[in-house]
Amino acid sequence: MALTITSINHVQVTVPPRLEGQCKAFYGDLLGLREIEKPEPLRSRGGAWYEIGPKTNPLQLHLSLEDGADGNTSKRHVCYLVPDLGAAKAQFEASGIEITDEATEPNGLERFFIRDPAGNKIEIGMLDGDL
């Protein structure tokens, strides 16, 4: 019998401690994710937690510090959906963020990829139904 999964609670990305400030600015300022307070026992570890979506059922992104973290060669990624792919692309280009791997998937997902300051791969997409 298959496990029943109802939603995703959080995704964690890791960054080296030396890039913590740049990555917090990337996720909080450039992507506009809403930072939330980490539980007291975890605050001393650094990093940050963010919420995306409605407060009734948010998805969390956990930005964690890890010595030696290097996402530059990994294919792992998070996909964020946006209502206007062109506007998102223009915002990243204006911020000096390199756009890679632009394509439309057979399922109708128009997309491109970027990387955060620590090299973590990020997919930005828009579904055909969102047009």
Residue boundaries of the structural domains of the chain: 10-130
For 35-46, b where at least 16 C-beta lie within 10 A, e where not — what string? eeebeeeeeeee
pLDDT at 130 exceeding the cut of 60: no
pLDDT at 14 exceeding the cut of 50: yes
pTM, to two decimals:
0.83
For the domain made up of 10-130, give the CATH fold. Answer: 2,3-Dihydroxybiphenyl 1,2-Dioxygenase; domain 1 (3.10.180)
Q: What is the pLDDT of residue 107?
A: 76
Rounded to an integer, what distance in angstroms lies between the CA atom of residue 109 and that of residue 127?
4
The residue assigned the tokens 């294919």 is: 75
Choose from 18-22, 80-84, 103-107 the range with maximum mean pLDDT.
18-22
Rounded to an integer, what distance in angstroms lies between the CA atom of residue 58 and that of residue 81?
14
pLDDT at 131 exceeding the cut of 50: no
Q: What is the pLDDT of residue 18?
A: 95
Q: What is the pLDDT of residue 129?
A: 57
Structure tokens at 41: 């026992």
Q: What is the pLDDT of residue 54?
A: 86
Q: What is the pLDDT of residue 102?
A: 82
Query: Region 2-18: what's the mean pLDDT?
Result: 85
Query: Region 20-34: what's the mean pLDDT?
Result: 96
pLDDT at 96 exceeding the cut of 70: yes
Rounded to an integer, what distance in angstroms lies between the CA atom of residue 78 and that of residue 80?
7
Question: Residue 104: which pLDDT band, with cuts at 50, 70 and 90?
Answer: confident
pLDDT at 101 exceeding the cut of 60: yes
**Distance between first and last Cα of the chain:** 38
Rounded to an integer, what distance in angstroms lies between the CA atom of residue 119 and that of residue 3?
33
Rounded to an integer, what distance in angstroms lies between the CA atom of residue 18 and that of residue 66?
10
Query: Region 4-10: what's the mean pLDDT?
Result: 77
Q: Are 127 and 109 in contact (CB under 8 A)?
A: yes
